[in-house]
Every structure is written in C-alpha cells, then in structure tokens.
Amino acid sequence: MPLRFRISTLGLASLRGARGYRAALCTELAKPLLLRDLPAPPLQPHQVRVGVHYCGLNFADILACQGLYQDKHTPPFTPGMEFSGTVMETGENVSAVKEGYRVIGVTGTKAMAAECVVDEKMLWQIPDGVSHEDAAVLPIAYGTAWLALCRRARLQPGETVLVTAAAGATGLAIIDLAVSVFQAKVIAAAGSDPKCELALTRGASHGVNYSRGSLREEVKALTGGRGVDVAIEAVGGDVFKAALQSLAWEGRIVVMGFAGGKIPSIPANLLLLKNVSAMGVYCSRYQQEDFPLFSSAISSVLQYCQEGKIHPHIGAVFKLEEVNEAFNHVLQRKSTGKVIISMK
C-alpha cells in the first residue's frame, strides 16, 4: 500500500524580521513533509548561494524520507539531490561562477527549497538556449544514463540496448542518449502499453510490455534469436533475470536500481555460458570516487542539450507547496519521465 503524504505548513516565529527562505522539511521519517521558513546560513569562502528555480524529484529522495535509502539522513533535513537556479551570492574564494549565472547543481540533500548553499565545484553553468526546466532533468537522470552507457557498458554504435523501466526519467534518458548520441538501437521494456508507446515516441525501435508476456521471448524474437548487446536494468526481481537471459554473446548488463522492490540474485552459470558481464552503476559514488569523470558526465549532457542532440522529457511539474502530492504521484507509479518541483 503506498505511503500517503499530506502537506503541513509551519512558520518559525523566531525568524520574523530575519531573511529566510521556504523549504520542504522531513522532520520525521515516513511522515508528511512540512513547509518551513528557514534562516539563510552564512556562506563559507568556497560556497555559493543559489536561488532555486526547479528541483528534480528522484525516487531516492522518497526513499531517504522513508529511511530506506542507502545514504542515511537524520531528521530534520531537506530532501532534494539536484536543481537548476540562479547564483545569488558567492563566497570570497569562489571563482567559477558569479552572481546572476544560471547553473545546475548536485547535492545529497537541501535542493527542495527556494535557496540552496553548495560548494562551487558542484555547480555547472547552464548553456545559452537550455531552459531551467530542461536543465533540472539532466544531473541525475542523464548523468546516470551517460555513466551507464559510456563508462560501464562501453556502448558502441550499431549495438542493441534493452532498457527496463523505460518510461521513467532515467529510462527515457537512456533511450535519448543511446539513440541520439551513441547511434544504437533500443528495445524499451515497461509495465504498460502507454509507457511503451511513450518510449517509442522518444526514439526506441521496439516496445515490450513485460506485465503481460515473456520479456525474454519478445527480445529473442525482436533480435532474431541473437539477444541484445547491452541491458540497462532498473526493476529487479524476475525482470532482471529475463534481461540477463536476453543478452547476446559477450553482452553486458548494468544494474541501475530495483524499482520493483526485489533485489535479485545473479545465477553465475548464466555469466559463464555466454561470457556475459554483470555490473552496476551508482551515480553518487562516482561523485565521491572519481569526481572528474562525474563532472565530465554532467558537462557532456549539458553540451548535448545545447546542441539539440537530446531532449529531456518532463512528465509533471509541481509547486513546492505540492511536494507531498509529487511524492505520491511517483509512489503510485503515475509518473513518466522526470517530475520536477517548481520554486517560482
């Protein structure tokens, strides 16, 4: 049964007369988020204060507010991992951005707010011609997709990619990048016909509804029995096993998540028989372990967007006051593409 969130708004009397900003606050795990006015923190020399325009909503934000995400946060905290906005103020040692610059940023929390303070290295300037809305979609969904396809799967032109949860934000980003940038062919797998149809309009060659048939058999038929070169898997459970079984000789499967709720075990004999590889992609870990590569991923997708090679799909826009409705929209599997929260 989906977790129900309802909004509550609180003001802090102690802040009257002081400059503050509105933020969504998780004060208790698995409870409704609150809206509160928070005091604007002072800047450290390397920090930047950004006026947030849009915050991307990720399933990880919802898990974090339920206490179920791998990176644990102790309440009270403001969720939100990515945002687009305008630089308001810079610390004395900041040189990469200036007041008035349009930027996107990545932060573990804090982005579901009218303002966000971040380290300057976690900001990237939005190129001319790219909107704040589109830019807000890029860091997590497209950054993860780029890392999955380029770094992990080493996708080559002309190869065939199977992507599950294809109508989600990252699934559609995988399709967009695979087709438009890497010149590959995509088989999109999703849990309903409308979601498959959306994936087809976004560039997939074929759509497979795995809720009413055998994903393995459908892929086998679509590939003439050969299988796919790459599978990007985000559902888990039986869908993961079917995707693994759908790989061609020396195919590669990249685990991106477990949206279905079941973490699968890998039958090692399947890896052996076809000489296939199974690997994972966790975007935030690259931020910690290989920041130059992480930064390159975000810079690359910004450039692709400016050049018109990719086209982010925004499924729904909610106001900050509707943040709990946005959470429920995702939890009830009503969302396709990216859900973003507007602060304006």
Q: What average pLDDT does this structure show over 216-226?
A: 98
For the segment 33-78, what is each residue's pLDDT rounded down to a tens digit? 999 999 999 999 999 999 999 999 999 999 999 999 888 999 999 9
pLDDT for position 261:
83
Q: What average pLDDT does this structure show over 270-284?
A: 95
Statement: the pTM of the whole predicted model exceeds 0.75: yes
Distances in whole angstroms, Cα of residue 141 to Cα of each of 91, 106, 156, 186: 29, 12, 21, 17
Quote the CA–CA distance of 313 and 310 in Å, as a whole number: 10
Whether 133 has a pLDDT exceeding 70, the answer reads yes
pLDDT for position 344:
84
**Could you tell me what percent of the chain has a pLDDT over 90?**
90
Structure tokens at 172: 């559609």
- CB of 162 closer than 8 Å to CB of 232: yes
Quote the CA–CA distance of 136 and 126 in Å, as a whole number: 10
- CB of 137 closer than 8 Å to CB of 169: yes
Q: What average pLDDT does this structure show over 282-286?
A: 93
For the segment 13-30, what is each residue's pLDDT rounded down to a tens digit? 333 345 799 999 999 999
Structure tokens at 312: 């982010």
Q: What average pLDDT does this structure show over 138-150?
A: 98
pLDDT for position 18:
53
CA-based max dimension of the chain = 70
**Could you tell me what percent of the chain has a pLDDT over 70?**
95
Q: Which residue has the higher pLDDT, 108 or 305?
A: 305
Q: Residue 311, exposed/middle/buried by CB under 10 A (0-12, 13-18, 19+)? A: middle
Three-state SS string over the chain comes to: CCCCCCCEEECCHHHCCCCEEEEEEECCCCCCCEEEEEECCCCCCCEEEEEEEEEEECHHHHHHHHCCCCCCCCCCECCCCEEEEEEEEECCCCCCCCCCCEEEEECCCCCCECEEEEEHHHEEECCCCCCHHHHHHHHHHHHHHHHHHHHHCCCCCCCEEEECCCCEHHHHHHHHHHHHCCCCEEEEEECCHHHHHHHHHCCCCEEEECCCCCHHHHHHHHCCCCCEEEEEECCCHHHHHHHHHCEEEEEEEEECCCCCCCCCCCCHHHHHHHCCEEEECCHHHHHHHCHHHHHHHHHHHHHHHHCCCCCCCEEEEEEHHHHHHHHHHHHCCCCCEEEEEECC
Whether 322 has a pLDDT exceeding 90, the answer reads yes
pLDDT for position 295:
98
For the segment 232-250, what is each residue's pLDDT rounded down to a tens digit? 999 999 999 999 999 999 9
Whether 226 has a pLDDT exceeding 90, the answer reads yes
For the segment 172-202, what is each residue's pLDDT rounded down to a tens digit? 999 999 999 999 999 999 999 999 999 999 9
Q: What is the mean pLDDT of the chain?
A: 94
